Structure 1
Amino acid sequence: MIDAIGYAAKHSFSRLKPLIFQREPAGPGELEIEILYCGVCHSDIHQVKNEWSNTVYPCVPGHEITGRVTRAGAGATKFKVGDLVGVGCMIDSCRSCASCQEGNEQYCEGPNSFLATYNGPMLPAAQATTGANMYGRDNTYGGYSDVIVVREEFVVRIPDGLDPAAAAPIQCAGVTTFSPMKHWGVKAGDKVGVIGLGGLGHMAVKLARALGAEVTAFTTSADKEGAAVALGAAHVELEKDAKAQMEKMAATGGRFDFILSTVPEKHDLNPFMVLLKRDATLVVVGALEPLAPVNNQQVAFHRRSVAGSLIGSIAEQQEVLDFCAKHRIAPDIEIIPIQEVNAAMKKVEAGDVRFRYVIDMTSLKEDREAV
């Protein structure tokens, strides 16, 4: 067994604290990876606080991982020891259902969906109490730790020229916003709206701009206008003015080809529906809870669509990393030691950051030496 250390929550109301645990060594087709950096995602906060009612404790969060291969199991040939690699939200899936066979592992139709990097598979709350899952493993532990073991098919290569620390958030924030843009065909010349300017939103602005779109950022904070322009937004609209925009756009039928909502909590989509052109789509990626009802008049009379999208496939994860390297795109990050993660999470939850926190996992050595 591998002796590992990470930061875990033991209850929905507890702070993250050091936890010594064990991982199984790399089996056939698996890789052992030393974790170098891990991003702090808003999903980590939802999961730690059991806001989706499926958390298995102890919970070691983290699914935006950059690391280095230290050992390959039998038959694992995709990477070699020393390679710089990335791990995102999934570490396995059934690999046999239609979605997996089509390369859409994030929509795995197996008994428990894909195997999440932490908190095990996507189990209903009634089943998510023992830590058991269909793969016969204990509850999975994520990237707020010093080592992880992953099937090689769920590991991606960090391209040359991409800062390893900045590459970490691309594993989730990058692919989660890139995947729907690709699926709905965002292209050069399109007018794209991005709702929210947090970890997901600021990457969405950068990626849409690199795809050649004219980007409008919608934010609740007037002091983020300058930051949005610096990210590549051609226009910035305050959400409090959305009602006025609705009235103005009602006569024209809208002007956006695509709108992406990255807000990580319940919010009203209606002020933005009228901003869509006929046949255009608003996609929600930030919130997983029920949202306010949409006025179907604004949908039906212009054949608009409201849709959702979940993270991205492994192929898209590699594609967005390569795209970011090619276009010299990276998330705005602040590197912190693991000992500051609880304070960082509070700031993320309060919306008091304009970047992605990334944990330097070498800081875990301090805790290992203390135990």
Structure 2
Amino acid sequence: MFRRLKTSQIVVDVIVAVGFFVIAWPIETITVTGALGFEYRLGSLGSVLAGLVIAGLFSGALALRRLSPALALVIAWVGALAQMSLGRPPGFADVAIFGVLYATAAYGSRTVYWAGFASALVGALVITVYLTAGPMYAGGLSWQTLPLALVMLVAAAFALGLSWTIGALVRTAVRARENRDAQQRAEAETAAEQERVRIARDMHDVVAHSLAVVIAQADGARYAAAADPAVAAGALATISTTARSALADVRLLLGQLRHRQGDGPQPTIADLEELYAQVRTAGVQLRVDVDPAAQGEPPAAVQLAVYRILQEALTNALRHGAPGGAVDVRLAWLPDHVDVEVRNPVEPGAPAPARVGHGVIGMRERAQLAGGGLDATEEAAVFTVRARLPIGDPA
């Protein structure tokens, strides 16, 4: 029944209604004689009381038009019926009807919306009948006055319908703006969720790879500490370098979470040699074949996807590969796409990397975001990751 309004809106509506009443009441107390054929005569006291009732009802409807369009419409109809029952001609107070019809279309519920439309049509008919065939019209309705009645009906319907139509247009514009705002909020939430997923994926790649290298180096240093201290010292240096690099990457990702700024510097294919060096220092026999090499500068998204896929695939080789087994990496930069393949032996009976953790899922998502695809299979104790990424914007 009542809409939620700001206090300032309620205050404005009340002030407008009071001002309207101050203007309408003196006008409604004037005795009209002979205007438009009316024979309306009341004593001064009766005219004042009738004007008070009519002006009060229509001013009340005007005050409630936004707070409760349904109640305002009812009060407006009560005012119109009271006006006709008192035998009064149309007056200044009737202007409030236009504001009420506008509010029913702009702010009312679906029922009130159509009730306002019906009121515009019925009201036009009622006012026409009242002015041309009512008890106050001296001549009564005849064939001679029928054209005038039709003109009056059309004019009344146009005036009342116009105010309702303007409210309906405002309602449509408000709904369109609300839908647009809701769509923008949904798009912003989707973008934020995608950003969180991307950062989580990057965090997984950085931490998983760095920890795999650190664990491998730590195990090697522990076994070599007694036999060859120099090897242990080198392993500790590698652990320190890897941990510092991972810490810098994690700080960058956390900064993106805090500040929602740009992506910041991202790995490219130029950083692959450092990645290969980390894996080799962890004790893995790594063989890399790049044929053909990249021509020109591939898109940044493709470079990042290639780096992250290789990083995760080599991390899987460190964690799940057979000890002492060689890892083969093949890159083929063709004119329209790049092929990535990583092969590493696995221990018989060990859990397949494709069924452990989120690494393979993350690699597949990386490939899909770049417009390509990725497969991870295990055959004859060899785990193989194959990805194909288009060079250019994904279709």
After TM superposition, the score normalised by the length of structure 2 is 0.23
Q: Please say which structure displays the higher CA radius of gyration.
A: 2
Q: Which structure: greater helix fraction?
A: 2
**Bigger RCO of structures 1 and 2 (CA < 8 A, at least 6 apart):** 1
After TM superposition, the score normalised by the length of structure 1 is 0.24
Q: Which structure: greater strand fraction?
A: 1
